[in-house]
Amino acid sequence: MQFMLLFSRQGKLRLQKWYVPLSDKEKKKITRELVQTVLARKPKMCSFLEWRDLKIVYKRYASLYFCCAIEDQDNELITLEIIHRYVELLDKYFGSVCELDIIFNFEKAYFILDEFLLGGEVQETSKKNVLKAIEQADLLQENMKDKGYHFIMQGINDAHLQEKVE
Amino acid sequence: MPEAPRSGQPAPKGPNWEQADWTPPEEEKLIQQELSNLKAAVSAPTTTLKMMKECMVRLIYCEMLGYDASFGYIHAIKLAQQGNLLEKRVGYLAVSLFLHESHELLLLLVNTVVKDLQSTNLVEVCMALTIVSQIFPQEMIPAVLPLIEDKLQHSKEIIRRKAVLALYKFHLIAPNQVQHIHIKFQKALCDRDVGVMAASLHIYHRMIKENSSGYKDLTGSFVTILKQVVGGKLPVDFNYHSVPAPWLQIQLLRILRLLGKDDQRTSELMYDVLDESLRRAELNHNVTYAILFECVHTVYSVYPKSELLEKAAKCIGKFVLSPKINLKYLGLKALTYVIQQDPTLALQHQMTIIECLDHPDPIIKRETLELLYRITNAQNITVIVQKMLEYLHQSKEEYIIVNLVGKIAELAEKYPFVLVLNTVDTYAPDNAWFIQTMNAVFSVGGDVMNPDIPNNFLRLLAEGFDDETEDQQLRLYAVQSYLTLLDVENVFYPQRFLQVMSWVLGEYSYLLDKETPGEVITKLYKLLMNDSISSETKAWLIAAVTKLTPQAHSSNIVERLIQEFTVSLDTCLRQHAFELKHLHENAELMKSLLPVNKSCEDMVVDASLSFLDSHVAEELSQGAAPYKPHHQRQEEKLSQEKVLNFEPYGLSFSSSGFTGRQSPAGISLGSDISGNSAEIGLKETSSLKLEGIQKLWGKEGYLPKKESKTGDETEAPPVSQESIIENVDPTISKKDPSQVLAQSKEEKEKQLLASSLFVGLGSESTVNLLGKADTISHKFRRKSKVKEAISGEKTNAHNMTRSSFSSPTNVTYEEDYYLDNLRDRRDKELEKFALSAELLGSESLAEPPLVEKLSECRRPAPSLFADDMEVFHPPRSTSASLAGESSLASLLEETTEHMHSDLTEVCNTETMSLSSYKIWKDDCLLMVWLVSNKSGSELEGVNLEIAPAENFKITEQPGCCLPIIEAENTKNFQYSVQMEKPFTEGNLSGFINYQMMNTHAVQLEFSVNLSLLDFIRPLKISTEDFGKLWLSFANDVKQNVKMSESQAALPSALKTLQQKLRLHVVDIIGSEGLLACQLLPSIPCLLHFRVHGDVLALWFRSSCSTLPDYLLYQCQKVMEGS
């Protein structure tokens, strides 16, 4: 896999992970072009796109688009399942995940992604194992008894909840 | 000092940012504000690591929104270095998101990584390994490599897994640095944890991709792993929507694909598991389709096996016909992979392909064009190119245009003289098509296309094709069309196109009879004065004018041009103008320098540039790289990309010897030949596979199309004007026209399109089958030669006979003795048989075993010589050998009851020789291995073992089991073999161990080929039983086989089938025959055949689905081979 992008229906980037070295300029250009192309596609169209010499596999979950770039010889269908498994992982971790969870805890979303995909390859396919690894690292948080941090997290979570209620 | 951002009141990543109606200017202001706050915060000495962590998260977010956060990069590294676990985690994350592999700041991270790798805290080690697997400076690998290697032995699987992935990363960026740990990868492959094993597959996939031959020995392991995964032996954790470890399956299938490519032996190992994968993936879920797709790809990539190909083809059908668009797309993709091997698949799905061609989703359309591109031949090219041009005109993306333009140009250049059906129903080469297509290519592809395209085009045009008048017409047409294009006002052509035009006009304007060179010069001059034209193109234009000047009558314009450009600021143009000026002053020189239509003739120049040789030699001696011409570099580059088959598909042509460009005369000759009766037989054979599909589709496409063609000419839509109908078979086209009228017009259009697209496909359907290695028949042939040699010499002196016997098989004296003994016995047997055969009188009705024996066994040597054998026999000793001899004698006694093959040596050493032969017993195949001791001392610990083979059940027969062989003695091992699943050919391998006195043990490996025919026995049934059985069998296969001339008669065909295939002749009725056989232990197969001239119509039926196919294959081999 070459890269993975998450963006909203409005075209706002929510998460980006690049597995190939590219300059910032290129990254921006690619992101802009891809977001436009994907958003322009109709709902019943194919989930795959040929884009330059890459294959783009995308899927929409609620208001978020998950978009992966793979090479020609890679399997498009399994890439769709990679996306799905990632969504499943997010869902399990956050408990019925929504776009806001990813906005507010995007570093968590990255941590989960890094446990699932490493260097563009699937690292661990067992849902249990991925979440175990994340929880292990998260547990440290509890042990740290970092009150200041908790305070902030509490604040953000409150705002988050408030947003959800609204 | 500004406040630390976390206490800043409006949280910068607050929810109101995310509202859809948020206006960018406000967002920008907010973020710029936030960034300046962050900038101050990160560099302030009072900022704690805790605060820094929060800053990092915000910086990541800002950068994602597209703002520059590079001032924070160094702080991300610091955070990873100094922070506690939580801060470190964010620090590492920020580093992985901010930096790339070659970023110089990354060097500062190396120490931290080394420290964390040595940490006792698991989480720290995990973090370090994660960052290493993502980004790590290549030159620093040695610093961490030993630490990571250690981690491969770590007790925690997560650490081992991450260590393997880190090594994978190293392998990607610096393969030579991890060369030495290949053995450890093997350990990872055998890891008890599935995750670690799966991670190691990434490395193996990579390594096998680079060098598949180095890892063939691992095939068995991969197959075993896949079998376990497919069989659901993994922990349930790895299931994904109740499919066991799909990622693992796919990775393994990919590895097997690489290993089995063009390698029959390796491929045979994986047939079973591929079959099982195809079978298991039946759940209707995306992920099973993902596995199926991979599996189909693998089946078509490894050495072909017809049974699997058939199943894979069915799977492709499932994809193509699926209503789900994603699956349909993959179906098309799969078709593009396999279409070269099996063009009939395109025929099967032609209507779907036609529908996809007009699909609203451009990606589907594009993949369809890719598919069509691969089935292009001389007959469907115009239609396919037209479709591609249509798509080209709609696309805007540069990458697509470049790609498509290249393909169109390639196709057009491959078939410049396509035949177009004109109004009077004759085929005529249409040079307009080529030029028009190329015009479209140049005007759309313009300046983005590959520069080779215009160059190739000009070269083709200049060098010409086979026929000079055709070439001239083509050139003339080009000149005319360019002049017309240039007349159009206010149209801007790409520079490349103008360059092509100016070259062609300069070279070939003399062909015009209406317009004078002067008029052409005027047009070129107008272009030269155009400001939008680049100076490079202007140089081309001046060159064209220069060429035309000697032909022109008046030179006003030329003089004006010279005037203007000799003062041009562009030095290049000025030089051209001066050249023109001087040439123009010397008309004679000009005419000799610029002759008409001589662009392809060689000028007398030192083309080898020999005056540079010494310079080149000097450079080379100083280590300069040797020069590679441009095209070679290009080819090297291309060969790394997608491999495409550039050969046309029309088998009917290639079989008649037409390749490459076809002249019109050649085509008409081709159709004559195919109308010939000799060809019809061949065509029937090759198109037979189509019968299973639909009667409506013939080799030329949709058959009713021809009806509409012949029946109602005017109703045909315009497409037919451009499509070419090749080799219209008159017998097919005579059908009821009312059927056609019933179809709706739209349908008909589609079918017309289909027939024009798929014309000329499908003639290669049998090529795969026949392409298989044909070792058995060779064996037979060789044997018959030996037989001849023997029979020719059998009356000669004894020593002569001996040499002729021993040379082909290389058997030892001792074995010769037994053989002769055997021959002696067989001699008598055969005499009896021969007698009975004579008594029966009818050759064709004789029992097959008899004929088999006659043909398969060696002619016995006269017993007289066998008696003399003692003279040559080396001295033997004592009782053990006698025991051996007696057991052998009993064995031979047994063998005389059954047919058996020749003795062939499978392996030998100085001291020992191992030979084997097959005994075709009624209920099984008995394999006998003879081990003979050639040395003067005894062999100890002799042990022969046969490796279990997948398709066979092997049972050791009790025999002489003493592990010692006396000097100069022989002993035998017997194994009975049963076939468990039908196949065409298999291998039985094993090894033999022995020890000479006081020396080390020796192990020798050997293998024997087994054929399906080894397990076929005649089935003796009555005609009545045959009839009953025939009706009860569901699996049937029909095929027409062309017989070689020597067998073109019923009796000889019958004889061949009886002898070579061991079929029992049940009955003969006129020109039809009924035969029956069984595959051991008891799978019956019936054959009905009929002879028409030299074509044999075979019809097999059996209770087993695969057996008829295999038998048919063998049948074809014996009927066509001999």
Mutate one of A98, A107, A108, A143 to test the B interface: name it (highest B CB count within 10 A): A107
Contact, B920 vs B1017, CB < 8 A? yes
Whether B130 has its CB under 8 Å from any CB of chain A: the answer is: yes
Cα nearest neighbour of A16 on chain B: B64
Cβ A144–B100 below 8 Å, yes or no?
no
- Within chain B, which residue ranges are assigned CATH 2.60.40.1230? 898-1012
List B residues 50-109 in contact with A (Cβ-Cβ < 8 A): 50, 54, 57, 60-61, 64-66, 84-86, 89-90, 93, 96-97, 100-102
Segment B10-44, tens digit of pLDDT = 344 444 444 444 456 777 888 888 888 888 888 88
Q: Judged by CB atoms within 8 Å, which residues 237-256 of B form the interface with A? A: 237-238, 240, 245-248, 250
Minimal CA–CA distance to B154: which of B177, B181, B127, B126?
A: B126
Measured between alpha carbons, how far is B1101 from B1088 in angstroms, rounded to an integer?
8
CA distance B80 to B78: 5
**For residue B1020, how far is the Cα from the chain centroid?**
44
CB within 8 Å: B50 and A85: no
Nearest-Cα residue of chain B relative to residue A160: B15
So what's the pLDDT on residue B551? 79
Does B161 lie at the interface with A, CB-CB under 8 angstroms?
Answer: yes
* Average pLDDT score over residue span B606-621: 79
Surface of B (5-34) touching A: CB under 8 A: 6, 11, 13-15, 18, 20
Strands B952-957 and B925-933 turn out to be: unpaired
Q: Comparing A24 with B879, which gets the higher pLDDT?
A: A24
Question: Given this model, what pLDDT does residue B867 score?
Answer: 41
Q: Do residue B6 and residue A152 have CB atoms under 8 angstroms apart?
A: yes
8 Å CB contact of B330 and A76: yes
pLDDT at position A16: 92
Q: Which pLDDT does position A80 carry in this prediction?
A: 92
**Contact flag A77-B293 (C-beta cutoff 8 Å):** yes
Residue A56 has pLDDT above 90, yes or no: yes
What mean pLDDT do residues A46-55 have?
87
**Contact residues for B695 (Cβ-Cβ < 8 A; gap 6+):** none
Among chain B residues, CA nearest to A52:
B399
**Per-chain mean pLDDT for chain A:** 81
User: Is the CB of B101 less than 8 angstroms away from the CB of A106?
Assistant: no
Compute the nearest-CA separation of B206 from chain A (Å): 12
Q: Which residue has the higher pLDDT, B638 or B340?
A: B340
Helix or strand run (H / E) with residue B1090? strand B1083-1092
Burial class (CB in 10 A: 0-12, 13-18, 19+), B1058: buried
Of residues B896 and B851, more confidently modeled: B896
Which residue, among B97, B234, B247, would best test binding to A if mutated, counting the most A CBs under 10 Å from its CB? Answer: B247
What span, in angstroms and rounded, lies between the C-alpha atoms of B1057 and B1120? 12
Cβ proximity of B416 and B430 under 8 Å: no
Q: Do A45 and B363 touch (CB under 8 A)?
A: yes
| Region for residue B23 given its phi and psi (left: phi exceeds 0; alpha: psi -120 to 50; beta: otherwise) | beta
Inspect the interface and report whether the beta carbons of B86 and A81 lie closer than 8 Å: no
Judge: A121–B202 Cβ closer than 8 Å, yes or no. yes
Cβ–Cβ < 8 Å for B1004, B991: yes
Tokens of B161: 């897994």
The pTM score is 0.58
Tokens of B477: 């047409």
Cβ–Cβ below 8 Å for B326 and A76: yes
Length of chain B: 1122
Residue type, B1066: V
Q: Please check the confidence at residue B784 and state whether its pLDDT lies above 80.
A: no
Collapse the DSSP code of B976 into the 3-class scheme (helix H, G, I; strand E, B; otherwise coil) and give the result: strand
Of all residues in chain B, the percent with pLDDT exceeding 70 is: 71
Distance from CA of A9 to the nearest CA of B (A): 9
3-state secondary structure B546-580: HHHHHHCCCCHHHHHHHHHHCCCCCHHHHHHHHHH
Other CB atoms within 10 Å distance of the CB of residue B684 = 18
Mean pLDDT of B216-236: 89
* B176 class by beta-carbon count within 10 Å (0-12 exposed, 13-18 middle, 19+ buried): exposed
- Helices (DSSP H) in B121-193: which residue ranges? 122-134, 141-151, 157-173, 182-189
pLDDT at residue B922 is higher than 90? no
Residue partners of A103: CB distance under 8 A and separation at least 6: A14, B13, B15, B18
Q: Do A103 and B90 touch (CB under 8 A)?
A: no
- Mean pLDDT of the region B891-896: 50
The Cα B830–Cα B1026 span in angstroms is: 31
Q: Which of A109-118, B255-264, B878-887, B938-947 is predicted least confidently?
A: B878-887
- Check: CB of residue B258 under 8 Å from CB of residue B205: yes
Q: Do B85 and A144 touch (CB under 8 A)?
A: yes
* B51-55, B717-721, B1074-1078, range with the lowest pLDDT: B717-721
What's the pLDDT at A70?
93
| CB distance A67 to A61 below 8 Å | no
Other Cβ atoms less than 10 A from the Cβ of B857: the count is: 19
Asked if residue B252 has pLDDT above 90, the reply is: yes
Determine the distance in angstroms separating the CA of A94 from the nearest CA of chain B, rounded to an integer. Answer: 18
Rounded average pLDDT over B274-287: 81
Q: Could you tell me how many residues make up chain A? A: 166
Picking from B700, B703, B695, B706, the residue whose alpha carbon sits closest to that of residue B683 is B700
Average pLDDT over residues B96-118: 87
- Strand A3-8 to A13-18 pairing: antiparallel
Q: Is the ipTM of this complex over 0.90?
A: no
Report the Cα–Cα distance between both ends of chain B, in Å, rounded.
Answer: 98
- Provide the percentage of residues in chain A whose pLDDT is more than 90: 26
Residues of chain B positioned with their CB less than 8 A from the CB of A107: 57, 60, 90, 93
Pairing of strands B427-429, B419-421: antiparallel
Q: Which residues of A touch B246 (CB under 8 A)?
A: 78, 81, 125
B1062 sits in the region (left: phi over 0; alpha: psi -120 to 50; else beta) called left
From the list B168, B286, B364, the residue facing A46 with the nearest CB is B364
Whether the Cβ atoms of residue B683 and residue B727 lie closer than 8 Å to each other: no
Cα B267 to Cα B275: distance, rounded to the nearest angstrom: 12
Q: Which two tokens stand for residue B465?
A: 């094709």
Q: What is the DSSP letter of B473?
A: H
| Residue contact A110–B93, C-beta within 8 A | yes
CA neighbor of B229 nearest in space, from B201, B206, B253, B249: B249
Residue of higher predicted confidence among B722 and B189: B189
| Superfamily covering domain B1016-1120 | TATA-Binding Protein (3.30.310.10)
Question: For residue B419, what pLDDT is reported?
Answer: 58
Mean pLDDT in residue range B155-180: 87
Q: pLDDT band at residue B998, thresholds of 50, 70 and 90?
A: low
User: Residues B869-897: what's their mean pLDDT?
Assistant: 44
Whether domain B898-1012 has CATH 1.10.510.10: the reply is: no
Give the tokens for residue B234. 């993994």
Out of B50, B290, B333, the one facing A149 most closely (by C-beta) is: B50
Q: Is the pLDDT of residue B707 over 70?
A: no
Of B65, B240, B329, the CB nearest to A13: B65
A69-73, B300-304, B1092-1096: lowest mean pLDDT where? B1092-1096
Least confident of B335-349, B516-530, B1041-1055: B1041-1055
Which three-class secondary structure state does DSSP give residue B987? Answer: strand
Is a pLDDT exceeding 80 seen at residue A137? Answer: no
* Tokens (6 digits) for B298: 């693998």
Q: How far apart are CA B350 and CA B342, in angstroms?
A: 14
B503-521 residue pLDDT tens: 888 888 888 877 777 788 8
Contact check, Cβ <8 Å, A13/B158: no
Q: Alpha helices, DSSP H only, in B912-1007?
A: none
B883: Cα separation from own chain's centroid: 56
| Mean pLDDT for all residues in chain B | 73
Instruction: Confirm if B191 and B203 have CB atoms less than 8 A apart.
Output: no
Where, residue-wise, is CATH 3.30.310.10 in chain B? 1016-1120
Summarised one tens digit per residue, pLDDT across range A88-120 is 989 888 888 888 888 888 888 999 999 899 888
Q: What is the CATH number of domain A3-125?
A: 3.30.450.60
Question: Residue ranges per domain, chain A?
Answer: 3-125
